[in-house]
Structure 1
Amino acid sequence: MKRLVVVGTGPRLYREFMLRRIGERYDVHLVLGRPAEWETPYVSGVSVVPGMTADGIVAAVRDVVARGAVDGAVDGPADGALDGAVDGVMTWAEDHVVGTALAAAAVGLPGPGPDAARACRDKHATRSALAARGVPQPQSELVADVAEARAVAEKFGYPVVVKPRAGVASQAVALVRDGEELADHFASAHRLPAAGLGSPDCSVMIEEYLTGPEIAVDSVVRDGRVMPVFVSHKEMGYAPYFEETGHWTRGDDPLLGDPAITGFLTQVHAAIGYATGATHTELKLTGEGPKLIEINGRLGGDLLSYLCESASGVDPGLALAAVSCGDVPDLTRTRALCAGIRFAYPPWHETRVEEIAFDESGLPPEAGLAVPLVRPGEVVLLPHKDLMEGRVAFATAAAATREELSAALDRALAALRCTWSPA
C-alpha cells in the first residue's frame, strides 16, 4: 500500500467521501490545523500545524518523510507510523495549494511546482503567464484605486467584471455597467485579504466581460500531461453576482474529447508550468473559441467530484492520489449518466430560519443527497457583494438524460419543508 500525505481536508460534508475512498487504497497521513476529528477512521497519522502556514506545512511534510509519522503536534513523538518512504503529497484545499507545492518540491515528490501553484492562487499572475504565451483570455488589468478602475473600464467598455486578485468561491466578483456601480463593487473586492501576494495594495482586477456558455473542466496532470476527468456545467443566479446555484455533469460529455478544449487546456497548463496534480479550469466558450476565466490548483468544490463519480464511475480524488504518487490514474468510465446538484436559497435578503427539513417521501427515486445547510434559529442572507453564503440546502440526483435530471432536482428541492420569517 502506497503512503500519501494529504494536506487539509475542508468541510466534512463536501470532502469526507473523497478521504474515505483514498483511505481504502492508501496509507494516509494528514497535515491539519487541528487534531483529527471525523478524519480519524481513514488515516494512520496526523501532524497538527497551528495556523497552517506554508512554512509549517513544509516542516510537517519534511518530518513525516524523514521519520514516518508524527503524533498530534508537529514536534511531538512518532506515532504509529508509516513504515518506509512516503510516495506522494497532495491537497484539494484552496488555501493550501502553495504550501503543499512547496512541501512536495522540498522533499522531491511529484507536485505542480511552487511557481505554478502561486500562478493558480494569484489571478493576476495567471493572466500575466497566459499573456506571455498568447493564450486566449479576457482583457484584464490590475488596479490600485477607483480612478484606475474607471479608466480601465472605459477602455474595455462596459459592462466589465470586478474581481479580487486572490478571491475564492466568486466572493466579491460582480458584473458592473457604469462608474457608480464600479465604485461600489470595487470597495467590496478591495476589502478581501490578499495574503501572500507581492503587491497587496493592488488587489483588484478589472476584466472584459465575455459572452457565451461557461464550463469548468477538472483535470489531473502527470509530468505536464493534462488528462481531463470531467466537465461541469454551471447554473448561475443572483446577478450582478456570479453565484453558482447548481452544477451538472455528464459521464460521456462530448466536450471531454473536443480537440479545441483539450488543446486549450494543454496551452493553459503549459503557460503556468503546471507539472503534476489536479486543476479546476473555468472557461467561456466564446464565438472565437475557448477563453480562460481562471484556473485553480485543486479539484472543484460543491461536490463536483461526487457528481463525477455518480455520472461516470471515475473517482477524481483517487485520480489525484495516483498522479501525486507518480502513477497513471484509472480514468475508465463505467457509467454514462447525468448527475447534478442544486442549491436552495431563502426568500428574503435577511431570513430567519424557524424549521427546515426534507420530506423524504417527496424525494424522487433519482435523488441522492438531500441536506439542509442551516439550523433553526439561524439568520441567512441572500448573496450580495460582501457575502456569498446564502445557501440553505442542497439536493443531488442522477438520471439518464439532462431533462430527467433537471426534473428530478426540481422535485427534490420541492420536498424541502421550511418555515421562516423576515429577520
Structure 2
Amino acid sequence: MGSPHLLVVTPGIRAYREYLLRSIGPAYRVHLVVTEPPTWERGYLDGWTVVDDLADTGELVRVTTALAERDPVDGVICWDETWIVQAAHMAAALGLPGDPAVIERCRDKHRTRAELDAHQVPQPQSRLVGGGDEAEAVAREIGFPVVLKPRALAGSFGVVKADDPTAVRRFVGFTAGSGRMAPELPVHERNILVEEYADGPEISVDSVVHRGEVIPLCIARKEVGFAPYFEETGHVVDPADPLWHDATLREVIERTHSALGFSSGVTHTELRLTARGPKVIEVNARIGGGLIPYLNVLGGGADVGLAAAAVACGRPPEVRVAPRRQVAAIRFYYPPHDNSRIAEIAFDRAPLPAAIVEHGPLAQPGEVKSPPPQGLMDGRIAYAIALGLDADECRTALDAAGRALRVDTA
C-alpha cells in the first residue's frame, strides 16, 4: 500500500510552518492547494493545484472532488486559521474527517463561548457588543478589568485589557478596527466581545482527536508582553511540566471538546490557570502557531503534525516520544520603534550560549516593522530557540540571544 494522499490547504508562512511539511512529507503524498505556484515547498510535495481564490468554497470543493476522482484522497488538513472552514468543507465533500459546523463553532469565538457556557465549561464571562457605549456598560456589569477582543480573528490581533471605563472607550476602536489585519475572515455586525479578565499564567494545549478520544500532545506556557496588549513573545515546552498530571486540566480539556462536538481533528486550546482553576480562553481548530509543536519535537516530544495528518486521514495517531527529553523554548524579538525600515538583522555569534540551537530573522531588508500595538505578530523581526535542562536555563540563554541581536534600521 502506498503512502496516504493528503491535501494541504496553503502552506502558511515558511518561517513558521515549513517544519510541518518537512515532517509530513516523507510519510504522506502531499498535494498542496495554493493561489500561486509553490517555490520552497516543492521538495516536500507530490503535487499541487493552483486556485483563484481560497475563499471560494465552491471552487475548492470542485477542485477536491476532481482530484479525488483521478487519485483518491485520504485526508484534508489546514493549519492556517484563515482557511480552516474551507478545508473542512473540502473534507466533508469526500466523506473524510472534518465537520464544517464544528470548525465554524471554533472559528467564531462568540459561538464557542455560547457552547461552552451551555455545557458549564469553566471560562471567563463574555458578552457580545456592537459598539463603545454598549461595551462600557457591559464592562461595568462584568467588573474591571475586562478584555476586549474581536469575534473572529486570531493571533491576539485586537485583544486588549481595559482597566477602567476610560480604557474601554480608548481601546474599543482598536478592537473594532482590527479586522483590517485579516480581511479574508468573516465580519459580523456585532463584532466585539467584552470578557472578564482571567488572572493567572496562560498556557496552550495541542491535542488530536480521533473518534471522540482527546489526546493531548503538547503543553506550552506562554510568555505574553506589551501590556495592555496580549502579544505572545515566547513559549516554553517542558516535558516534566506538572500540568501533565493535573486531572482538573485534563477534565476541562475533554469537556471543552465534548461541548463543541469536536470528535475528529486537531486543536490548539488556550487557557488561563486562575486561582479557581483552569479557564478556557479559546479553541483553535488547527495546529498551534508560534512554532510551539516544533519545540515539542525538538525537546523529544510527540510530533503534532504527524498526529494531525493521521487523524485527518481517519487513522489513529502514532504517538512517539524520546526516552530522554529536554525543555525547549522560543523567544520573539521586535524592532526598536514604530515604522522601522529594516536594513540588516544579525545575531553576534560569539556571545550566543550553547543552549541556543536555532535562530534567525523574521523580517527581510527593506521591510517596515513596528512593535505592538501597531505591529503584533507581524511585527516580529527575529527569533531564537533554546534547549536546556529547565525553563530557567532556556530563558537565560534567550535573554543572551536578545542582547546579541543587532538590528540596523534605515
Matched, 1:87 2:74: yes
Counting only pairs closer than 5 Å after superposition, residues 35-184 of structure 1 correspond to structure 2 as: 35-53=37-55, 54-68=57-71, 85-111=72-98, 113-184=99-170
| 2:82–2:185 contact (8 Å) kept in structure 1 | no
Alpha-carbon distance between aligned partners in 2 of 1:324 and 1:338, rounded to the nearest angstrom? 29
The match for 1:34 among 33, 36, 42 is 36
Alpha-carbon distance between aligned partners in 1 of 2:304 and 2:245, rounded to the nearest angstrom? 17
| 1:91–1:97 contact (8 Å) kept in structure 2 | yes
1:401, distance to aligned residue in structure 2 (A): 1.3
Matched, 1:345 2:334: yes
1:350, distance to aligned residue in structure 2 (A): 4.0
| 1:4–1:88 contact (8 Å) kept in structure 2 | yes
TM-score (norm 2): 0.94
3-state SS of 1:219 partner: strand
| 1:282–1:293 contact (8 Å) kept in structure 2 | yes
What is the number of equivalent residue pairs in this alignment?
Answer: 403
Match of 1:263 in 2: 251
Instruction: Give the residue type in structure 2 aligned to 1:343.
Output: F
Matched, 1:278 2:280: no
- Structure 1 residues 377 and 46 mapped into 2: Cα distance closer, same or farther (>3 Å)? closer
- Structure 1 residues 41 and 376 mapped into 2: Cα distance closer, same or farther (>3 Å)? closer
Overall identity of the aligned pairs, in %: 44
| 2:153–2:185 contact (8 Å) kept in structure 1 | no
1:349, distance to aligned residue in structure 2 (A): 3.4
Alpha-carbon distance between aligned partners in 2 of 1:184 and 1:323, rounded to the nearest angstrom? 44
Match of 2:370 in 1: 381
Match of 1:315 in 2: 303
1:387, distance to aligned residue in structure 2 (A): 4.8
1:388, distance to aligned residue in structure 2 (A): 4.5
**Any gaps of 5 or more consecutive residues in structure 1?**
69-84
Instruction: Give the residue type in structure 1 aligned to 2:15.
Output: L
1:7, distance to aligned residue in structure 2 (A): 1.2
Match of 2:400 in 1: 411
1:231, distance to aligned residue in structure 2 (A): 0.5
The CA deviation string for residues 337-390 of structure 1, in whole angstroms up to 9 with x for no partner, is 100110112233343434321122332222122112223444321201675532
- Structure 1 residues 132 and 7 mapped into 2: Cα distance closer, same or farther (>3 Å)? same
1:5, distance to aligned residue in structure 2 (A): 1.2
3-state SS of 2:121 partner: coil
Q: RMSD across aligned C-alpha pairs, in angstroms?
A: 1.7
- Structure 1 residues 385 and 182 mapped into 2: Cα distance closer, same or farther (>3 Å)? farther
1:314, distance to aligned residue in structure 2 (A): 1.8
TM-score (norm 1): 0.91
Match of 1:80 in 2: none
| 1:171–1:385 contact (8 Å) kept in structure 2 | no
Match of 1:21 in 2: 23
| 2:22–2:44 contact (8 Å) kept in structure 1 | yes
Alpha-carbon distance between aligned partners in 2 of 1:59 and 1:362, rounded to the nearest angstrom? 54
1:254, distance to aligned residue in structure 2 (A): 2.8
Q: Please list every run of at least 4 consecutive aligned residues from structure 1 whose deviation after the TM superposition is greater than 6 angstroms.
A: none
3-state SS of 1:307 partner: helix
1:59, distance to aligned residue in structure 2 (A): 2.1
Alpha-carbon distance between aligned partners in 2 of 1:191 and 1:379, rounded to the nearest angstrom? 21
**Any gaps of 5 or more consecutive residues in structure 2?**
none
1:397, distance to aligned residue in structure 2 (A): 1.1
The match for 1:390 among 358, 379, 382 is 379
- Structure 1 residues 162 and 129 mapped into 2: Cα distance closer, same or farther (>3 Å)? same
Match of 2:218 in 1: 230
| 1:250–1:312 contact (8 Å) kept in structure 2 | no
Matched, 1:295 2:283: yes
Alpha-carbon distance between aligned partners in 1 of 2:164 and 2:370, rounded to the nearest angstrom? 26
